[in-house]
Amino acid sequence: MEPGCGMLFVQRTGSVLYFCSNKCKKSQLVLKRDPKKLKWTERYERKFV
């Protein structure tokens, strides 16, 4: 992500999450999807490296 872009989300537990877009935020928080299973995420790419 470029500096100044995206969103910072702080959970009640105190953990900090950075999202590049609203699509990413909804996918993880509302729909509770695992980022390791989505091809368009960085974590998916790390799984195969």
Summarize pLDDT for 12-28 with one digit per residue, the tens. Answer: 999 998 888 898 889 88
pLDDT value at position 16? 92
**Tokens 């702080």 found at:** 10
Q: Find, among 30, 39, 2, the residue nearest to 18 by Cα.
A: 2
46 three-state secondary structure: helix
How far is residue 34's CA from residue 2's CA, in Å, rounded to a whole number?
A: 23
Query: Phi and psi at residue 39, in whole multiples of 5°?
Result: -65, -25
Q: Look up the pTM and report it.
A: 0.63
